[in-house]
């Protein structure tokens, strides 16, 4: 009576899903609102940086040649003919043994080719004129930031798909991006299924649990840079589920349901996919938790049937939904950041299937260490709060021991991986 399903390897499942991943749409936002979004176009320099030869210090701009004879015993004197602050341009012509008092960031006056910092100059007045003297020679170019030495006009500075962090924001401002082309946030529809689910504000009653997956998934969607649209709970009734899902499919870029994908009597998603005319890409994955994860597509739109079990739901999102959304956000590295770490506890369970263990990774003296968090029962949620990584134990392996090197996938790293 129970349907037999054939599990496929995790990597194969991810590939099947990623065949339907495509770039998303763009929109233009004001620079003030760009933080936290993803660049939809490469960021290029619209001018040289610095845009002109400028002083990196407060001091005096001079003609270096005039300082050639300066020494401790024989200071060379300069007449200070003008003062310019950042944003000002010198108005006078600088003759031999003349200097311009110059502030940090100001343009080097014509004819000058070195800057003497205040700290090494002796400034004084005589007969109503200002002078300064120095006790060592300067070479042409000393203490000058040259036009274009940081960046040349037209240079590609940051590729599209990059997360706009404070540094990228600074570059956007520097290069005049008052309006920024960013990836439009994909709309991710969410339904929770299960008659056992109570609203968060409802008191507990026998046999029921509160609906945590819907809130968790919404947060996961936000974290990945997309926009969740929660449509509420579906009752365990095939007709109503079908109608509700069909009704919203056009409104979203992809749809997530939690629960209803197992082989239980009230698991209606398989029937619904069939009635929708959606192609089921797989309905069983050789992984723990989340083996019942089911993904279907209808006219290229992906329908993710995640497990109703919180941990399996969480893992299913990060493995299958994340890379699809990040691809829509133009990322060339849509997958979780992968590396290895030293295991800090014995993990004796064998792994008939690839196992994703919620774990905490920390760094010490330049090395990464990983500790499984919680008991790793697939029905508990407390460990999710502490996890910042999955420890990935390949299927077909026996247990692992303290000190073993194991693969880890980081959950809160913005950079990602090409896989």
Closest CA to 252 of 200, 328, 334, 332: 328
For residue 249, state whether it binds a second copy (rule: CB under 8 A): no
Site for a second copy in 187-246 (CB under 8 A): 194-197, 199-201, 203-204, 206-220, 222-223, 230, 236
In the complex with a second copy, which residue's Cβ is closer, 11 or 170? 170
Q: Which is nearer to a second copy, 68 or 405 (CB)?
A: 405
Per CB under 8 A, the list member of 300, 348, 375, 418 interacting with a second copy is: 375
State yes or no: residue 401 binds a second copy (CB under 8 A).
Answer: no
- Pick from 168, 303, 315, 329 the residue near a second copy by CB under 8 A: 168
Q: Out of 72, 299, 348, 367, name the contact with a second copy by CB under 8 A.
A: 367
Distance of closest approach, residue 388 Cβ to a second copy, in angstroms: 8
Q: With contacts defined by CB under 8 A, name the span among 60-68, 243-251, 259-267, 275-283 that binds a second copy.
A: 259-267
Binder among 69, 73, 128, 166 for a second copy (CB under 8 A) = 166
**CB-CB contact of 406 with 340 (8 Å):** yes
Which residue is listed with tokens 């990060």?
A: 318
Determine the Cα–Cα distance for residues 77 and 66; give it in Å rounded to an integer: 9
Any contact of residue 72 with a second copy (CB under 8 A)? Answer: no
As measured in angstroms, the least distance from the Cβ of 28 to a second copy is: 13
CA angle 283/417/294 to nearest 5° reads 10
Q: Six-digit token pair at 169?
A: 């924001």
Integer angstrom CA distances of residue 218 from 212, 259, 295: 10, 15, 19
Distinct helix (H) and strand (E) counts, the chain: 8, 24
CB of 184 to a second copy, least distance (A): 20
Stretch that binds a second copy, among 13-21, 63-71, 270-278, 385-393 (CB under 8 A): 385-393
Task: Determine the 3-state secondary structure of 122 from DSSP.
Answer: strand
Q: Does 300 bind a second copy (CB under 8 A)?
A: no
214 close to 258: Cβ distance less than 8 angstroms: yes
Dist. CA 412–CA 25, nearest whole Å = 25
Give the contact letters, 308-327, x = binds to a second copy (CB under 8 A), - = no. Answer: xxx---x-------------
Could you give the string, one character per residue 8-37, with x where binding to a second copy holds by CB under 8 A and - elsewhere?
Answer: -----------------------xx--xx-
Our finding on whether 331 is near a second copy (CB under 8 A) is: no
DSSP 283: S
d(CA 160, CA 24): 12
Decide whether 190 or 324 has the Cβ nearer to a second copy.
190
For residue 338, give Cα distances in angstroms to 149, 323, 372, 389: 35, 13, 16, 9
Task: Enumerate the H helices of 234-367 as residue ranges.
Answer: 238-248, 269-276, 310-316, 322-328
């Amino acid at each position: 009576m129970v349907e037999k399903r054939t599990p496929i390897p995790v990597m194969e499942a991810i590939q099947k899903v990623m065949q339907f991943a495509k770039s998303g749409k763009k929109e233009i936002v004001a620079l003030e609102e760009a933080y936290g979004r993803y660049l939809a176009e490469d960021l290029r320099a619209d001018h040289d940086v610095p845009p002109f030869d400028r002083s990196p210090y407060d001091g005096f701009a001079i003609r270096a040649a005039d300082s050639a004879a300066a020494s401790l015993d024989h200071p060379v004197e300069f007449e200070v003919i003008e003062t310019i602050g950042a944003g000002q341009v010198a108005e006078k012509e600088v003759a031999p043994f003349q200097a311009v008092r110059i502030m940090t960031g100001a343009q080097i006056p014509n004819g000058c080719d070195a800057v003497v910092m205040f700290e090494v100059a002796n400034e004084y007045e005589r007969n109503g004129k200002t002078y300064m003297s120095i006790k060592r020679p300067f070479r042409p170019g000393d203490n000058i930031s040259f036009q274009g030495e940081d960046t040349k006009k037209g240079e590609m500075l940051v590729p599209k798909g990059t997360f706009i962090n404070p540094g990228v924001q600074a570059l956007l401002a520097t290069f005049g991006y008052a309006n920024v082309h960013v990836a439009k946030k994909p709309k991710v529809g969410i339904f929770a299924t299960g008659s056992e689910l109570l609203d968060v504000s409802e008191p507990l009653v026998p046999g029921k649990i509160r609906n945590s997956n819907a809130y968790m998934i919404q947060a996961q969607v936000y974290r990945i840079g997309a926009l969740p649209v929660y449509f509420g709970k579906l009752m365990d009734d095939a007709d109503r589920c079908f109608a509700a899902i069909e009704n919203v499919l056009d409104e979203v870029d992809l749809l997530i349901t939690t629960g209803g994908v197992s082989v239980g009597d009230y698991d209606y998603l398989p029937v619904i996919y069939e009635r929708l005319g959606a192609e089921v890409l797989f309905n069983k994955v050789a992984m723990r938790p989340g083996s019942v994860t089911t993904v279907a597509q209808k006219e290229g739109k992906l329908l993710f049937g995640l497990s109703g079990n919180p941990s399996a739901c969480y893992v299913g999102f990060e493995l299958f939904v994340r890379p699809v959304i990040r691809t829509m956000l133009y990322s060339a590295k849509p997958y979780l950041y992968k590396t290895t770490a030293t295991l800090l506890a014995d993990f004796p369970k064998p792994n008939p299937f690839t196992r994703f263990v919620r774990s905490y990774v920390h760094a010490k003296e330049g090395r990464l260490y990983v500790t499984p968090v919680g008991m790793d029962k697939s029905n508990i949620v407390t460990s999710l709060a502490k996890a910042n990584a999955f420890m990935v134990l390949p299927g077909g392996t026996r247990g692992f021991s303290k000190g073993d090197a194991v693969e880890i996938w980081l959950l809160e790293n913005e950079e990602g991986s090409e896989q």
